[in-house]
Amino acid sequence: MGVAGRGVMFVYFGTLLTLGVVMMLIADLLLRPGNFTIERITVVSGMSSKDHKRVQRTVWKNINGNYFTVDLGGIARALEQMPGVYQATVRRIWPDRLRVTVLPATALAKWQGLNQHGEAVEHALINLPPDVLVTVVPRLAGSTGRQRQVLKMYLDTAKLLHSAGLQVASLRQGENGEWRAEVQFDSQRPEALIMLLLGRHHPVSRVKRFTRVFNLVLSERVSELARVDLRYERGLAVSWRLRASAAQVKS
């Protein structure tokens, strides 16, 4: 390689080195915690001013880093753990602001995580989607770690039962996988409950069967219903409050 070629190479590497140093200085300037700090938080939602302040406090508590390094996803997840917040999105607004958009939850459910002996070892509140119309706070229970599956089952069955004028007061999946629900037929009377035994397999299909039969023949005697066993391949068994024996009803 000639002298001219070596000179060009030295200039090339010198330029790269200079660029590298400049990039490091810029990165240090941008990422240093004391620079470009978050100064303002704007909350957009249909919530009350009191809830706005709760949201702002939660955001401030979960800010780690500056404008460029703050974990937006982590802040959103922290907000969605708050009672009353169904969904949250967080955006940066140059030069020093975060914009938080909150979709409020219209209702809550109580969750109990159960151990292998059926004992409650975990308690939490779950924010329900805004399109769920309830006047009671449903109680959900299942094995620890199965919160999502039980919640999905609740949402699927709540829509079916709402069409029949009924609400899910409680839903439980036992350790053996069997589902059972308590259905409330009078929102003014907490004791106005019907027990539904749904078994292990195809519980949503069995709830569909129940609502079909309920609308056809059972709704007129709803106050007499105590328990409905849907663990049959076809049909169901009804236990009445004022009768000792169960009557067989075919769908």
Considering 81, 104, 127, which residue would you say is the last residue of a domain?
104
Residue 192 sits in a domain whose CATH number is 3.40.50.11690
* 249 in Cβ contact with 235 (< 8 Å): yes
**pLDDT value for 250:** 52
Enter the pTM of the model.
0.78
Please tell me whether residues 88 and 179 are part of one structural domain: no
**pLDDT value for 89:** 97
Domain count, the chain: 2
**pLDDT value for 26:** 46
30 located within any domain:
no
Q: Which domain does 195 fall in, by range?
A: 107-249
Please tell me whether residues 113 and 97 are part of one structural domain: no
pLDDT digits (tens), the chain, 251 positions: 554 555 545 455 555 555 554 455 444 545 555 677 999 999 999 888 899 999 999 999 999 889 999 999 999 999 999 999 999 999 999 999 999 999 999 899 999 999 888 888 889 999 999 888 888 899 999 998 899 999 999 999 999 999 899 999 999 999 889 999 999 998 888 889 999 999 999 999 999 999 999 999 999 999 999 999 999 988 899 999 875 444 555 55
Residue 202 makes CB contacts below 8 A (sequence gap 6+) with: none
Please tell me whether residues 88 and 194 are part of one structural domain: no
54 located within any domain:
yes
In three-state form (DSSP H/G/I as H, E/B as E, the rest C), the secondary structure along 85-129 is: EEEEEEEEECCCEEEEEEEECCEEEEEEEECCCCCEEEEEEEEEC
75 located within any domain:
yes
Region label for 159, one of left (φ > 0), alpha (ψ between -120 and 50) or beta (otherwise): alpha
Q: What is the spatial distance between Cα 42 and Cα 237, in angstroms, rounded to a whole number?
A: 56
What is the Cα Rg of the chain in Å?
29
**pLDDT value for 246:** 47
* 97 in Cβ contact with 127 (< 8 Å): no
Q: What is the spatial distance between Cα 89 and Cα 45, in angstroms, rounded to a whole number?
A: 11
87 located within any domain:
yes
Considering 86, 104, 122, which residue would you say is the last residue of a domain?
104
19 located within any domain:
no
3-class DSSP state for residue 170? Answer: strand
16 located within any domain:
no
Considering 88, 104, 120, which residue would you say is the last residue of a domain?
104
Residue 58 sits in a domain whose CATH number is 3.10.20.310
